[in-house]
Amino acid sequence: MSLVISGRIVALARTSEKSTFAGKVWIGDDGRIERVTRGNAAGPRSGFDKAAAVDVGDDLVLPGFIDLHSHLAYATLPLWTEPGRTTPFLHHDSWPSASTYAGDITWPAYAFIEAAPEALLAYAEVRALIGGTTSIQGSPPKNRPLDGWMVRNVEDESFGGNVSSNRVLASTLTLKPEVLATRSAQMRAGAGFIYHCAEGQVNSIAVNEYQSARKCGCLQKDFVAIHTNALNPGDYDAWTDPGTVVWSPFSNLWLYGSTTNVPSALARKIRVCVGSDWGPSGTRNVLGEIKVAALVSQHERWKLTPFDLVRMITCEPGDALAGPWNVQAGRLQPDALGDVVVIAAKAAADPFTTVLAATEQDVRLVVIGGRARYGDATLMKAAKATFPSELKIAGTKRVLSMTKLDDASKPWSFAQVLTRLEQVRADPKKAIDSAGNASAQARLAGEAPRLRLALDMPLGKLPIGGLPKNLGEIVVPPIQPLEHDAAFFASLVGRGFHGGLLDGLKKFYA
């Protein structure tokens, strides 16, 4: 179904990234943008006679936000610290060996991926949606692709066609040189490669990952390096065919007490994007993460503007994916993906300052491929959203359009998702055993295998497999609210290694 959205357009189009104007975005039946017009200019001649029309007045109409670094399998978990630790971790191989890591992170995450994988993914994707995210990286490894459901999963997205799953490759764990050499060849053939790389304090052993990637020929335009906070400024000089760095300042500060040298990357014309990372050391969505980026920029006197920061969650990640995906995202222009977010605004307000200051309450509509997925009830009705169900975000009523993962004809509410997660939380061992029995019975009956997920982060200390011998030892913490709330801000104070810098995040939500 085609859709026309009228409002204050912040297109971030290549020809005029800062341009803002009253106009319309015309999204065709194929989910792509057919035209962006100014004022009352005429739209396409055909295909929009029966289009849904949404007028958001002075509110901002932007490209949907893109989160290039997340771990959806851990989205339900609260912020984590190792009790009694007084010094920052050195690198990404340090904290998984902490005594509480497996019990606090691996075990509860495993309970959900094993017993309720569909509900876990629904929770994680709704959490992204309410922050304006339309594409996200970091969906857990699975036994079948899930593109075309709700939020675009960067590694799985095929746009309804037969695009190879090898178009966007990703790895959280450190790869051996022979594998990196293969990835280098795949990038030269048109693939993208997203790699956790050099995560840790400057000059820690983690810098060897970047040097290994360099020696294996991976420093190419379609290489997306997550973190690189262990690098010295001069290390970026080797990246002569600039690609992309994904910056997660919250997680960096929380674990290591320092973060990526963004100005050094930008000086080499390396694209910089922002990613929210994961529940144990991250923000709830990229709308929150750019606020952390602003705090770091101010503290370090980097002079990143609101315009710079908004680009890091729209056109910059969109450009990083444009080659492997073979379609533009993150920009409102003809032939680009029809992914849109509407942010509440005052008529005369600077659009980029408005987005930086926006919270979950200000996200009024999220459209993916021309379909309204989440937003204000009035706007969702105008957009002819299907299967609407209500939920409340930061005290504000919103509407969600979601169906069952395996049956698009069956509506699914967020309340039902939470009910399923709470069932697992109440008795993890029973839920895990039940899921295992159901899988065994399905195999015996010759039925299609159920959805299986895998954790994409280190499992922590033994026992083997990262799980206790007695599954009855698993304790699942309370499922976190979708939005940044008072409890989240309170949990920042006196914890982690940010030296109080992250305490300033609260002021954006006052």
The single-letter code of the amino acid at 505 is L
For domain 66-73+88-95+146-325+487-509, the CATH architecture is Alpha-Beta Barrel (3.20)
How far is it, in rounded angstroms, from Cα 190 to Cα 168? Answer: 9
Q: What is the DSSP string of 198-231?
A: S-BSTTSTTHHHHHHHHHTT--STTEEEEE-TT-
Indicate the pLDDT class of residue 423, thresholds 50, 70 and 90. Answer: very high
Indicate the pLDDT class of residue 236, thresholds 50, 70 and 90. Answer: very high
**Does CATH number 2.30.40.10 belong to domain 3-63+334-392?**
yes
> Over pLDDT 70: what percentage of the chain?
98
Over 70: is that where the pLDDT of 166 sits? Answer: no
Task: Return the residue matching tokens 């509506």.
Answer: 411
Q: What pLDDT sits at residue 443?
A: 86
Q: CA-based Rg of the chain, rounded to a whole angstrom?
A: 22
Distances 197 to 166, 200, 291, 485, 498 between C-alpha atoms, Å: 20, 9, 23, 31, 21
pTM exceeds 0.95: yes
pLDDT digits (tens, 9 = 90+) for 427-485: 999 999 999 998 888 888 888 888 999 999 998 875 555 788 899 999 999 999 999 99
Contact 476, 108 (CB under 8 A): yes
Over 80: is that where the pLDDT of 148 sits? Answer: no
The candidate with the shortest Cα–Cα distance to 214, out of 193, 192, 235, 244, is 235
How far is it, in rounded angstroms, from Cα 386 to Cα 437? Answer: 35
How far is it, in rounded angstroms, from Cα 337 to Cα 78? Answer: 33
Residue 465: Cβ within 10 Å count: 10
Distances 463 to 105, 107, 398, 404, 469 between C-alpha atoms, Å: 14, 11, 44, 35, 7
Over 80: is that where the pLDDT of 127 sits? Answer: yes
Q: What average pLDDT does the structure give for the chain?
A: 95
Over 80: is that where the pLDDT of 240 sits? Answer: yes
* Average pLDDT of the residues in 277-297: 98
Q: What pLDDT sits at residue 464?
A: 55
The single-letter code of the amino acid at 252 is N
The single-letter code of the amino acid at 149 is W
| Structural domain spans, the chain | 3-63+334-392, 66-73+88-95+146-325+487-509
> Over pLDDT 90: what percentage of the chain?
90
pLDDT digits (tens, 9 = 90+) for 94-119: 999 999 999 999 999 999 999 999 99
